[in-house]
Every structure is written in C-alpha cells, then in structure tokens.
Chain A
C-alpha cells in the first residue's frame, strides 16, 4: 500500500502553497468552462480538489503497481523483431493503468477530452511516474506532442488527433535528431517535398535516437525549403506510422531501458504540415522542447527522490560497528545534502511551472484578443521572459542534482549498491540521460545566460526579499542579499568586458550563482510558511556560501589563460 503522493510531504507542500489561482482562472476561462463541460471546476478550490484527488489516484498507481514492476521492465525491456517494437507486457500494463485513470491527456482542453490541468500538476504526475519507473515517463511524457498539435495545429488536425491522444489510443514521438545533427538542429536535413498537383507533403530521410519512434503519431522536423541550410528552412509535420516509415533498429542504452529509442527511415511518408512553413524550429520545436525540458526536470527529480529514499532506508537498516550507518557524520552529511538538493530542485521546478502556466494563460488570452488590457500584455511579456530563463535553469539544476543524488545513493549502499540486485544502480543509470537529452546542461546554460545577464529574475527576487523575514530567516536573507550584490558585480564585469569567449567560458558559473541566489530565496519563502522547512533552507543557504564564492572568484579573476592555452593542455 504505497502512495507516492501521500508519502511525500514536500510534494504536498508544493501543491498546497503553489498559488495557481491566477493561472487556473485563465485556463478555465474564468470558470465559464464549468457551464459547458461536465466536471470542469467551478472555482479555484474546486480545481485544487480535482488536482489533489487525481494526484492521490496516480500516487497509488505509481506506488502499488508501477514501482513493483519497474525492475523487471528494466531487465527485460521492449522486444524488437521484424522492424516492430513490442513493449514489455508490464510496460503495457502500466500504460493501461494510466490510460484508465484518464491521465493521457492531462493538459488537453476539456473540448478534446482532456483534463485541462495546468503544467504544474502534470509535472507533479510526471515526477511520481518517474520515481516509480523513469523509463515509463518517456511514454507518459509524450503528451507534450498532443500539446504541440493543440497549440500550433489547425482545428481539423486537433479534431483528428487530440481526442484520441486524450483516451490514450494514440501515442506520439517527436522526431528531431538526425545521425549528424543533435544539438545543432538548425542543420537538420530530412527532406519534406510537396506533390505540386495534389499539394500532398512527403517526408524522406533518416532520424536517430527517437524516443518511442514506434509511435502511431509523429511530429517531424524537416527541411521544406529547398536550397536552405539554416533553421528558417525547417517546418514541422505530422505523420502517422505506416509501411513507409520504417523502424530500422532500437538502441541498446545505459538506462531508461523500458522505452524504445529508435532509428527511423522515411521512404516518402505522407505527412501534413503543422502550423506555418519555416516556423518549424524557430517557433514550434523551441516551444515543444521547452515543455519537454520541464518534463525532464521532473523525471530527474523523480529519480532523485527514489534514489534518496533507497539510500535513506538502507542507511537506517545497515549496521556497522554496532550502529546503523546513518549515525555516522560522513553518512548523515551525505543524506542531508541529498535531501536539501532535492528540496531545492523541487522548489525551483514548481516556481518554473507556475511561470510556465501563467505564460501559457496570458499567451492564450492575448491571442484570443477579447478585452485584452495593457496589463495583460505586460503580464504576457513578463512571464514569457521569466519562463524562458527559469526553464533552462531548472533543467540544469534538477538533472545535475539527480546525477549527484543517484551517485551518492550507490556510495551509501557501498558494495551492495554496485550489485544489480538493488535499485540504486538502476537509478544511477536512468539519471544519466537526463542532463543530456532535450539539451545538455551546457546548452541549458546557453539558453539561460541571456536572462541572467539581463536580470530577468530581479523583479521576482525583489518580491521575495521583501517578505517579512525575522530572526534566523532574516539573517539568512542577508547572506543571500550579499550574494545577490556580488552576482550583479559579476554580471556587470562580464558584460562590460565584451569578450564573447570569456562570456561563454564563465556562463555556467554565472547561471549557477543565479541559481544559488534564486533558489535560496524560494527556500526561505517556504520556511516562512512552515517551520519544519527552516533547517533545510538554512542548510541550503549556508552550503551555498563557499560554492557561490568559488564561482564569484572564478568569474572576477579575469583569468583568460585557458582561452589561450587549452589546446596545449588537451593535446599534451
């Protein structure tokens, strides 16, 4: 009788204190949807009650059903024969359980049969699914594909696909990466050509590393403009599985064994254009990837949660020198640090999803164009900027945290953790992809640095710093305020130096300094709401002092030697 929602006080705290009222009112059309759709909430409390109930149901499914199946799924994985992928019977059962619980179209609007839940709640579900079986999240999380069709497809395409995504009949894949182009998506080559007589589009070429490439519905990034070579020649297409779309092989991976990662060959596959030509990468895929980055952050956090719990349990049961090992400073230091990092990553994750929900809400409001006030437009602009900087910051933090926590989890297990009889090694393997796919941490830094230099978080930071802190919390706030002042110095230093190479070299340090300041304030805010969170906030802020200082010293050092001599080092 395990329930991954009810056994997680931090997740419940996140739900109860994440003020979604503004975002949900936007999403539910000021609760006018309640008159049109059975079950749509009548006010925010009603919506929150729905979220709580569904989280509870999925928490139980994750704890009682999916988690116990996960080891076998990892060991046995999907089956591939005659160009056909067959998922493990237990993976199929997992999907059936989730489908029956109506959570395959969590964010889709009521009119297409979705639950119309905000991204924040979908992310909480994602976190629990990943804690139970990280590889299952790669199938559950493909709801982002339906979201993209909903956002950018035409009404006919929405009607054609979305209701069947909502019931779980359709699954999807996003086909971006090619053998030669991963991070550099603007160079994608897969060709889209149009029959001049019929207007029908066809796709021709190869894609690689496609998660669930055996899906029924594919969103494909392809070059529709002959003679172009950059991102503006790419469009997005929808196509369906069929004899012309061949799964050539599936990859043999380090982790997330439960899901098939496919190589695809397109032999003139008929396709529909989704959205406008030439906007494929620059608008649609960027949006899709930003959504996926939030989801991967949650996947990473779920793995970290699982790895931490396993380590904590083991450390309390394992006795050496006549006492349980969690009584030794070296071990309780690691356990505390893991817990603090997880709490920090979760705080940033739900601050991010809240910004994403508000961004989506205001984008839709402005697009609909009815009674839009200047304040609405300002809010739209603001939340677009905030979501754009927080999403990559969050992905970098959550996925690197997951790797550290999974690593320490094995360390706490000692030799036992190295054995495949325990779950620790699986979490370690599963975590490893999270800071790579949907953009490596290095690319998240590239995505975040602009917002850091332009100080897009300063308005929010000022709000947080104005909270009525007293006593210890006030002293901790002063520590962060000191960091913030030095962060501004460092930003000024790098900006004024106007050296692109130094800028790129220091970007990671700057983004991490920003993260220490921002997350520190989030944890102090939470400690103000709940006394039990004070030790975690305190630990985070105090641990961040030397970490922050190290990065500050590096940025301010003006040390450009590496730019000049890195080849001498690398090539020795």
Chain B
C-alpha cells in the first residue's frame, strides 16, 4: 500500500528575529526588511511526513500558495526529502485571508486527487491564526486532528496520532483521509548534501522563463523544452493557477476575504516591574477590583 501525504507549507517573514525596521510607518509589516523563511511549524509538519516516509514509504507532496518567490520553500522541502512540489501561484490569490486561503488550498488538494493525509503546521508566525488547517479539513469534509506531536500508527484504514493538550496528551484515531496540524517538538531534519546538489536545479516554469533573460524576446520553444527536460528529470516544480485548479474567482484572493485589517499596532511593552498576586480568593478578588477601578474591566 502506498500512501500519499500532502504537506501545505508557507513562506513567511521572519518575525522571530525582528530588526528595527520591521514595521512600515503606516503600521503594516515591512516584508522587504524581514528575510523570508520556512514557517517553523510547517517544518515540523514536513518532518512528520518525512518520518512517515521513513517508516511506511509514503509519497510526500509539498504544496504552498504564494508569489513565484515561494518556490524557495519548496526547494527547501526537496532538500530535506520531499518527493514532489506544487506552487499555487496567481495574482488572483493575492491578499487572501484564512477563508480564501483554505478554499484555494482545498481546490489544490482536489486537483492532486488521491491523498491519505494532509499535514499543516499548527500556525504561521506572521498571522498566528491557526485557522487554515482546520478550515481546509472542513472544506474537504474530512476529519481533523490538531496539535499533533507524533503519529503512532498508519494503516490503510486509519491513523493513530498523539496530540498535545493542556497538561498532557491525548491519543486519537481517525479514518483516512484526514488532516492533522502539527506542533513544534519533533526535530526537523537538516537539508541533505546530496539532495541539495540534485534539487538546487529544480525550477518552476516561471523561473525557467526568467532565466531566459531578455524579456523582449522570449524563445517559448526553448522554454518549453527546458521545462520538459526538468519534468523528465523530476526537477520541475509545478505551478498551478486559480483557473487550473478550478477555483471560483469570487472565493479567492482579496475578493474572497471577508477579513479586513483595520489597523496594525506596534506594541512596545514598557512595564518595568512585575506584580505578584497570591493564588487565593482574596488575591483574585483584590486583582479584579483593581482592574475594575482602572477601567481595564467593565
């Protein structure tokens, strides 16, 4: 039995290593100033998939939605052990909130067709919503297990996984196909030398086009032949458009996103001293009174 595991990943600005110009004067994230990295918990999802590959020989397909430059995280996945990659890229996808994103990814998953598991990182470090994974499961009408730390068993009928819960863990069983979101904890494997040397040549069709140089004169036959050559060697990173995956234009990108960002505030924590509150009824009552009197509550 050969399984197929889809891993959806995201390229994000590195919000863990913030420098001075991380925010624009308008209060939005200054993406140009922050290096683009592989979303950390998506690396944990990929690692889990690769462990399943080690144990069960699953085929690992990594997908991402993003601009053409997001091909970088896909190559990174290939360097670590992924088998195939898909880049969902189209101007129409731009500006998507979690609803539009999960819809687009659901179209992508349907286009891929047969799969046994979908793995996502718990959440991305730029939005911190943790919504895309669960929404994707809902759209595909498949069961979901969130906060997964480890897969204990995979059979043709079911997956048994351990997930983190407050103060402990829980072991759940689900029929296949299923979606799991993965938390940090497994040690993502490093990129491997041999795979780097091979897959650094992996390209998307638009990268092939760009490498042709002169934008005024594009030899489309040459591009097509390079693309076919890459495909033959297993080095082509597929690019799928909204139309190709059959996405409804009104449900993707800015148009499909009911979430409107009203304002982003740069919060600088200035409190210099901490205050201890006794874990007693008297202590709690005292704190609540204090919060009401300074209008933090009520």
What residues make up the interface of A, taking CB atoms closer than 8 Å to B?
1, 38-41, 49-50, 53-54, 57, 60-61, 93, 97, 100-103, 113, 115
Which of A60, A93, A115 contacts B193, CB < 8 Å? A115
Q: Which of B185-219 contact A (CB under 8 A)?
A: 187, 189-198, 200
Q: Is B270 an interface residue (CB 8 A)?
A: no
Q: Nearest CB to that of A102 among chain B residues?
A: B193
Which of B187, B189, B196 contacts A50, CB < 8 Å? B196
Q: How far is the CB of A121 from chain B (nearest CB, A)?
A: 11
Q: How far is the CB of A375 from chain B (nearest CB, A)?
A: 31
Q: How far is the CB of B22 from chain A (nearest CB, A)?
A: 15
Which of A1, A57, A97 contacts B196, CB < 8 Å? A57
Contact A103 B193 (CB under 8 A): yes
Contact A101 B193 (CB under 8 A): yes
Contact A61 B190 (CB under 8 A): yes
Q: Which residues of chain A come closer than 8 Å to B263, judged between CB atoms?
A: none
Q: Besides the contacts A53-B200, A101-B191, A115-B194, what 10 more A-B pairs have beta carbons closer than 8 Å?
A: A1-B17, A38-B198, A41-B197, A49-B200, A50-B193, A54-B196, A57-B196, A100-B190, A102-B193, A115-B197
A100 to B200, CA, bound (A): 17
Q: Which residues of chain A come closer than 8 Å to B200, judged between CB atoms?
A: 49-50, 53
Q: Which residues of chain A come closer than 8 Å to B193, judged between CB atoms?
A: 50, 54, 57, 101-103, 115
A97 to B193, CA, bound (A): 12
> Looking at chain B's contact residues, is the secondary structure mostly helix, strand, loop, or mixed?
loop
Q: How far is the CB of A168 from chain B (nearest CB, A)?
A: 11
A391 to B189, CA, bound (A): 36
Q: Nearest CB to that of B14 among chain A residues?
A: A1
A176 to B40, CA, bound (A): 46
A276 to B102, CA, bound (A): 67
A113 to B197, CA, bound (A): 13
Contact B191 A39 (CB under 8 A): no
Q: Which residues of chain A come closer than 8 Å to B187, judged between CB atoms?
A: 93
Q: Which residues of chain B come closer than 8 Å to A57, judged between CB atoms?
A: 190-191, 193, 196
Pick 19 A–B contacts, CB within 8 A, sort by A: A38-B194, A38-B198, A39-B196, A39-B197, A40-B197, A50-B197, A53-B196, A53-B197, A57-B191, A57-B196, A97-B189, A97-B190, A100-B189, A100-B192, A101-B191, A101-B193, A102-B194, A103-B193, A115-B197
Q: Which residues of chain B come closer than 8 Å to A97, judged between CB atoms?
A: 189-190
A241 to B200, CA, bound (A): 39
Q: Which of B16-72 contact A (CB under 8 A)?
A: 16-17
Q: Nearest CB to that of B190 among chain A residues?
A: A101
Q: How far is the CB of B125 from chain A (nearest CB, A)?
A: 13
A436 to B16, CA, bound (A): 44
Q: Nearest CB to that of A40 among chain B residues?
A: B197
Q: How far is the CB of B71 from chain A (nearest CB, A)?
A: 16
Q: How far is the CB of A117 from chain B (nearest CB, A)?
A: 9
Closest 5 CB pairs of A and B: A39-B197, A102-B193, A39-B198, A101-B190, A102-B192
Q: How far is the CB of B203 from chain A (nearest CB, A)?
A: 15
Q: Nearest CB to that of A116 among chain B residues?
A: B197
A208 to B192, CA, bound (A): 36
Q: Nearest CB to that of A97 among chain B residues?
A: B190
Q: Which residues of chain A come closer than 8 Å to B198, judged between CB atoms?
A: 38-39
Contact A101 B192 (CB under 8 A): yes
Which of the listed residues B17, B192, B193, B198 has the most CB atoms from chain A within 10 Å of its own CB?
A: B193
A115 to B192, CA, bound (A): 11
A504 to B200, CA, bound (A): 54
A57 to B75, CA, bound (A): 14
Q: Which residues of chain B come closer than 8 Å to A40, judged between CB atoms?
A: 197
Q: Nearest CB to that of B80 among chain A residues?
A: A100
Q: Which residues of chain A come closer than 8 Å to B190, judged between CB atoms?
A: 57, 60-61, 97, 100-101
Q: How far is the CB of A420 from chain B (nearest CB, A)?
A: 28
Q: How far is the CB of A65 from chain B (nearest CB, A)?
A: 8
Q: Nearest CB to that of A106 among chain B residues?
A: B193
Q: Which residues of chain B come closer than 8 Å to A41, judged between CB atoms?
A: 197
Q: Which residues of chain B come closer than 8 Å to A102, judged between CB atoms?
A: 192-195
A100 to B197, CA, bound (A): 14
A39 to B195, CA, bound (A): 8
Q: Which residues of chain A come closer than 8 Å to B195, judged between CB atoms?
A: 102
Q: Which residues of chain A come closer than 8 Å to B189, judged between CB atoms?
A: 97, 100
Q: Which residues of chain B come closer than 8 Å to A100, judged between CB atoms?
A: 189-190, 192
Q: Which residues of chain A come closer than 8 Å to B17, judged between CB atoms?
A: 1
Q: How far is the CB of B73 from chain A (nearest CB, A)?
A: 15
A359 to B16, CA, bound (A): 47
Q: Which residues of chain A come closer than 8 Å to B16, judged between CB atoms?
A: 1
Q: Which residues of chain A come closer than 8 Å to B194, judged between CB atoms?
A: 38-39, 102, 113, 115
A180 to B189, CA, bound (A): 45
Q: Which residues of chain B come closer than 8 Å to A54, judged between CB atoms?
A: 193, 196
A103 to B194, CA, bound (A): 9
A82 to B191, CA, bound (A): 37
Q: How far is the CB of B189 from chain A (nearest CB, A)?
A: 5
Q: Which residues of chain B come closer than 8 Å to A101, judged between CB atoms?
A: 190-193
Q: Which residues of chain A come closer than 8 Å to B197, judged between CB atoms?
A: 38-41, 50, 53, 115
Q: How far is the CB of A399 from chain B (nearest CB, A)?
A: 29
A1 to B34, CA, bound (A): 14
Q: Nearest CB to that of B16 among chain A residues?
A: A1
Q: Which residues of chain B come closer than 8 Å to A1, judged between CB atoms?
A: 16-17
Q: How far is the CB of A288 from chain B (nearest CB, A)?
A: 24
Q: Which residues of chain B come closer than 8 Å to A93, judged between CB atoms?
A: 187
Q: Which residues of chain B come closer than 8 Å to A49, judged between CB atoms?
A: 200
Q: Which of B205-241 contact A (CB under 8 A)?
A: none
A54 to B190, CA, bound (A): 11
Q: How far is the CB of A164 from chain B (nearest CB, A)?
A: 15
A101 to B195, CA, bound (A): 9
Q: How far is the CB of B175 from chain A (nearest CB, A)?
A: 33
A39 to B200, CA, bound (A): 9
A1 to B17, CA, bound (A): 8
Q: How far is the CB of A530 from chain B (nearest CB, A)?
A: 25
Q: Which residues of chain A come closer than 8 Å to B196, judged between CB atoms?
A: 39, 50, 53-54, 57
A97 to B47, CA, bound (A): 13
Q: Nearest CB to that of B37 among chain A residues?
A: A1
A100 to B51, CA, bound (A): 13
Q: How far is the CB of B191 from chain A (nearest CB, A)?
A: 5
A41 to B194, CA, bound (A): 11
A315 to B191, CA, bound (A): 36
Q: How far is the CB of A448 from chain B (nearest CB, A)?
A: 34
A53 to B72, CA, bound (A): 14
A38 to B195, CA, bound (A): 9
A239 to B231, CA, bound (A): 46
Q: How far is the CB of A532 from chain B (nearest CB, A)?
A: 23
A27 to B200, CA, bound (A): 21
Q: Nearest CB to that of B189 among chain A residues?
A: A100
Q: How far is the CB of B201 from chain A (nearest CB, A)?
A: 9
Q: How far is the CB of B50 from chain A (nearest CB, A)?
A: 10
A113 to B194, CA, bound (A): 9
Which of the listed residues B187, B190, B198, B200 has the most CB atoms from chain A within 10 Å of its own CB?
A: B190
Q: Nearest CB to that of B192 among chain A residues?
A: A102
Q: How far is the CB of B88 from chain A (nearest CB, A)?
A: 26
Q: How far is the CB of B232 from chain A (nearest CB, A)?
A: 13
A103 to B16, CA, bound (A): 29
A97 to B194, CA, bound (A): 14
Q: How far is the CB of A96 from chain B (nearest CB, A)?
A: 9
A115 to B197, CA, bound (A): 9
Q: Which residues of chain B come closer than 8 Å to A115, judged between CB atoms?
A: 193-194, 197
Q: How far is the CB of B8 from chain A (nearest CB, A)?
A: 23
Q: Nearest CB to that of B50 among chain A residues?
A: A100
A113 to B193, CA, bound (A): 11
Q: Which residues of chain A come closer than 8 Å to B192, judged between CB atoms?
A: 100-102
Which of the listed residues B16, B192, B196 has the most CB atoms from chain A within 10 Å of its own CB?
A: B196
Q: How far is the CB of B56 from chain A (nearest CB, A)?
A: 19
A93 to B186, CA, bound (A): 13
